[in-house]
Amino acid sequence: MSETGATAILKEEVDIVIPTIRNLEFLEKWRAFFQPYHLIIVQDGDPSKGIKVPEGFDYELYNRNDINRILGSKSHCISFKDSACRCFGFLLSKKKYIFTIDDDCFVSITLFLRFRHSHGMRVRFQFYIVSILSLLFQVAKDPSGKEINALEQHLKNLLTPSTPFFFNTLYDPFREGTDFVRGYPFSLREGVPTAASHGLWLNIPDYDAPTQLVKPLERNTRYVDAVMTIPKGTLFPMCGMNLAFNRELIGPAMYFGLMGDGQPIGRYEAMWAGWCMKVISDHLGFGVKTGLPYVWHSKESNPFVNLKKEYKGIYWQEELIPFFQSVSLPKECTTAQKCYVELSKQVKAKLGKVDEYFNKLADNMVTWIEAWEELNPSAMAPKSDALPNGSAK
């Protein structure tokens, strides 16, 4: 039980991974929820720069020198000068669950957003109240008086099954106060293991640079009280700023690729990982959820800088999406590692002609798995009771 009485569920089975180029005062706003948990901080950029971590947290801090020392000749697979470096923390962790969050994300404020719905106050005026409060306090209580705990919501999402094969129109049937609707096949109501929980953001939405440029003042004030499973066979643009996953089921697929310094692309790290993770989850019979929890995303990054990082991704993705939609993995691929190595072969065969970058990326996907197996020797056996599609029971 933390100081505020918040329960720290599964605290021995969770690592919180934070990529950073800043001091970590933001942790003060999360102290009530994060203090019982172990943090893995991945410091990007200049390793000689000191990073201040508030007192009282249990953490490991790794900079680029540590990455080079620990991974040796494999360290080239970890990006430099891009939030993609966070996946080094996924590699090092020995825990079952990972929650990764950016250092400009705070506890979301839903009290006034729900108030707005019930009292019809003018949206814009409401949002200014919420913005001022969020800047002042950053911690909110929902109408039931409980503080909003994003990590707890992610763990609830991961601990309850997903329903990728048939859409439930009341959304997540495993949440309190809801269920499967009439007509939902009983043969599918057991659901499947949940591999990932994708949270969302109030205030600054995760828009690409062109959208940021044409809508510079747009803020997300819409708090949708829903968690839903992304249907099997459907891809989605994963964002890494408020994300949790089951490391034993899908960790090896959570490689955030080659981004940032020395690379032709940036800010596509989580999307790349999300596409790989989703096709592998579909193949292994796992589910992926999106929706609650929200975090309050506070920093607007520079759209012109972002455009320079993103522009190749904006046209490459028109070829990447059809590739991922056509991916088929053989039934011998019974673990995330095996799926990922097979996927790297298909990336090289089919995307190498889009740009030489994808040949390099495919090679680094293999290096990532080699590093994963070197640092996680016990991770070789299949972790799921899910059988690949078409396998005999």
Ligand X SMILES: O=c1ccn([C@@H]2O[C@H](COP(=O)(O)OP(=O)(O)O[C@H]3O[C@@H](CO)[C@H](O)[C@H]3O)[C@@H](O)[C@H]2O)c(=O)[nH]1
Strand ranges inside 123-281, DSSP E: 194-203, 227-229, 242-246
Which of 31, 81, 114, 189 forms a contact with ligand X (CB under 6 A)? 81
Closer by beta carbon to Mn ion, 131 or else 344: 131
Each residue 261-300 as x (binds ligand X by CB under 6 A) or -, in order, gives ------x-x-----------------------------x-
Q: Residues binding Mn ion: what is the number (CB under 5 A)?
A: 3
Closer by beta carbon to Mn ion, 242 or else 384: 242
Measured distance CA(202)–CA(297) in Å, rounded: 6
Quote the least distance from Cβ 282 to ligand X, whole Å.
24
Closer by beta carbon to ligand X, 83 or else 163: 83
Secondary element (H or E) of residue 216 = none
Q: At what angle do helices 150-159 and 26-34 cross, to 10 degrees?
A: 50
Strand ranges inside 183-235, DSSP E: 194-203, 227-229
Query: Applying CB under 6 A, does 83 fall inside the site for ligand X?
Result: yes
Cα 34 to Cα 2, 142, 204, 310, distances in angstroms: 9, 18, 23, 32
Closer by beta carbon to Mn ion, 307 or else 375: 307
CA atoms within 13 A on the CB side of 337: 18
Q: Which does 239 bind (CB under 5 to 8 A by kind): Mn ion, ligand X, none?
A: ligand X
Query: Applying CB under 6 A, does 317 fall inside the site for ligand X?
Result: no
Asked if residues 163 and 171 have their Cβ atoms less than 8 Å apart, the reply is no
Which of 13, 28, 66, 104 forms a contact with Mn ion (CB under 5 A)? 104
Measured distance CA(146)–CA(199) in Å, rounded: 19
Asked if residues 20 and 51 have their Cβ atoms less than 8 Å apart, the reply is yes
Q: What is the dihedral of CA 114, 120, 121, 127, to 10 degrees?
A: 40
Which of 214, 227, 371, 205 is closest to 300 using CA atoms?
205
Secondary element (H or E) of residue 10 = none
Measured distance CA(3)–CA(20) in Å, rounded: 26
Which of 9, 11, 13, 21 forms a contact with ligand X (CB under 6 A)? 21
Quote the least distance from Cβ 196 to Mn ion, whole Å.
20
CA angle 18, 229, 317 (to 5 degrees): 65
Q: Residues binding ligand X: what is the number (CB under 6 A)?
A: 21
Nearest residue to ligand X by CB is: 83
Query: Applying CB under 6 A, does 44 fall inside the site for ligand X?
Result: yes
Q: Name residues contacting ligand X, limited to 186-215 (CB under 6 A).
A: 206
Quote the least distance from Cβ 26 to Mn ion, whole Å.
11
Length of the chain: 393
DSSP 171-186: S-TTSTT--PPTT--G
Which of 84, 83, 79 is closest to 64 using CA atoms?
79
Which of 32, 89, 99, 103 forms a contact with ligand X (CB under 6 A)? 103
Binding range to Mn ion, per CB under 5 A, among 48-56, 167-175, 298-306, 347-355: 298-306
Measured distance CA(122)–CA(199) in Å, rounded: 27
Closer by beta carbon to ligand X, 103 or else 172: 103
Quote the least distance from Cβ 42 to Mn ion, whole Å.
15
Measured distance CA(110)–CA(149) in Å, rounded: 12
Query: Applying CB under 6 A, does 104 fall inside the site for ligand X?
Result: yes
Closer by beta carbon to ligand X, 20 or else 229: 20
Closer by beta carbon to ligand X, 91 or else 111: 91
Binding range to Mn ion, per CB under 5 A, among 36-44, 211-219, 250-258, 296-304: 296-304
Binding range to Mn ion, per CB under 5 A, among 174-182, 220-228, 261-269, 293-301: 293-301
Closer by beta carbon to ligand X, 19 or else 36: 19
Where on the chain is the footprint of ligand X (CB under 6 A)? 19-22, 44, 81-83, 85, 102-104, 206, 239-241, 260, 267, 269, 299, 301
Where on the chain is the footprint of Mn ion (CB under 5 A)? 102, 104, 299
